[in-house]
Structure 1
Amino acid sequence: MSTAYVVLAALLAVVLAFSAYGKLTRATTVVQNLDRAGVPGSWYPWLAAAEAAGAIGLVAGIWLRPLGIAAAIGVVLYFVGAVVAHVVHRDTAGIKNPAPLLVAALAATVTGVLSA
């Protein structure tokens, strides 16, 4: 078991859970950020479900590493989409939210693969 993966997966899972909660409750800052990226309100529950699934998969990956790696790859793809949405809508200020999480998901993927 890799300590680096455990720490990254746990921290990223917590952030994903809070982000999913923000989407489900339509927290003001979350809605403002998603609006600037052109995300329709009808997508919020689906995006929250994807984040929750990623969080669960990352935590489960502590014991079932292939599942954790798959979840980390899914989270990477999720945040690539978020960054692209901000770029497409010329919201360069909004990139500061998903970009660090993209880096964290990439780190979780790499540490998961290296410790498998």
Structure 2
Amino acid sequence: MHTVRVAVTLTAAANAFSGIAALLHWKAILPGMAKADVPETWLTFPIGTLKTAGAAGLLAGLWVPWMGTAAASGLVLFFVCAVYTHIRASDFGAQFWLAIGFLALAAASLRSAPAPWRKRPAGRWARRPEGPESEARK
């Protein structure tokens, strides 16, 4: 579990940095955005806002699991769209590969999120199912 927390925290930190850079219209990212035909006005919303909200959601997900799952799902969707935008503009520069890397980080965070449908190992305090089978064990 410790490794998952470190990985999710690093993913959140990377997205927070990227989102804040977009919100501040950092000069280093402007040429890449222009190359991908992304208007500069989009840096504030949706790009910067969604990235920082995703980072905050990932961090909140360390304590509220469903929030982390929702944030990771949103970031995966965001970066799928980002990769598509770069492909559509035939932009395969550094920001395209950064989008691929961010997509991989978001997908790894989503994969590590707790899900109610995954089987949990039955431990000493595991809840036993109720019903006719449990009556036979008594």
Q: TM-score higher than 0.5 here?
A: yes
1:38-70, CA deviations, whole angstroms, 9 ceiling, x for partnerless residues?
Answer: 111111111111011101100000011111011
Give the structure 2 partner of residue 77 of structure 1. Answer: 77
Give the deviation of 1:3 after TM superposition. Answer: 2.1
SS in 1 for 2:90: coil
| Residue-pair matches, total | 115
Paired AA for residue 107 in structure 2: L
Name the counterpart of 2:22. 23
Residue correspondence of structure 1 range 47-66 to structure 2 within 5 A: 47-66=47-66
Show CA shifts across 1:72-104 (max 9, x none).
Answer: 010011111111010000001231111011001
Greater fraction of residues in helix? 1
Which residue is 1:96 aligned to? 97
Do 2:54 and 2:72's aligned partners in 1 also have CA atoms closer than 8 Å?
yes
Whether the 8 Å contact between 1:5 and 1:62 is mirrored in structure 2 is no
Partner of 2:112: 111
RMSD after superposition: 1.6
Task: Give the TM-score, by structure 2 length.
Answer: 0.77
Q: Return the alpha-carbon distance in structure 1 between the equivalents of residues 5 and 70 of structure 2.
A: 15
Shifted more, 2-11 versus 59-68: the winner is 2-11
TM-score, L = length of structure 1 = 0.91
The offset of 1:114, in angstroms, is 5.7
Q: Is there any run of 5+ residues in structure 2 with no aligned partner, and where? A: 119-138
Code of the aligned partner of 2:60: A
Of structures 1 and 2, the larger Rg is shown by 2
Greater RCO, CA 8 A, separation 6+ = 1
